[in-house]
Amino acid sequence: MAEFLAPETIDALYVSPQLRAKETAAPLASHLGFTPTIVDGIAEFDLGHTSYVPGEESGPLTETQLQSLISELTSDHFVGRVLDSVNRIIEDHPSQRVAAVCHGGVISTVLANILGVDGMNYFDSHYTSVTRIKASASGNRSMASFNECHWLRDL
């Protein structure tokens, strides 16, 4: 991801406080010479949990586990903190390009809001993928790309 974004001008780098996001952001931060700004609001729903098991390692979810996950990803608290934080980042950087290293639930929440669809429609993104959002000063938001990850093909 860092090599893919290297030729682009990036004016600021934000990262979730969760270790997995910080580790993903580290090569890009090093390339840019930036210390990332940590924003709690772009953390995944499991912020504060004592452990993390990637979905592909946890096995199939039971109906109860799936409903719990959906409830957390669509809760007013989660959606509100994500959208407030993303909007604040956008407002703080008019006419600039910003990278935010976050999580699948965060990306899905932002896209659902931009596209005007129910948050129950989950947009599944790959680890280290790039999703591009365009934002205007008037508040308009659009999705420019989703889940760019061609650099993962050979891994």
Block means of pLDDT (10 residues each) for the chain, length 155 residues? 92 95 96 95 82 71 84 92 97 96 95 92 91 93 95 81
Return the closest-CA partner of residue 73 out of 39, 123, 32.
123
CB atoms within 10 A of CB 67: 11
In sequence order, what DSSP letters do the residues of 122-136 get, joined into one string?
A: -----TT-EEEEEE-
As a whole number of angstroms, the distance between CA 130 and CA 146 comes to: 7
pLDDT at 112: 95
Instruction: Give this prediction's pTM.
Output: 0.91
SS3 for 58-90 is: HCCCCHHHHHHHHHHHHCHHHHHHHHHHHHHHH
Report the pLDDT value the prediction gives residue 69, as an integer from 0 to 100. 83
Instruction: From 154, 150, 110, 116, select the one nearest 132 (Cα to Cα).
Output: 110
- Number of compact structural domains in the chain: 1
3-state helix, strand, coil split of the chain in percent (to 5) is: 45, 15, 40
How high is the pLDDT of residue 130?
Answer: 97
CATH code at position 72: 3.40.50.1240
Domain that holds residue 123: 2-152
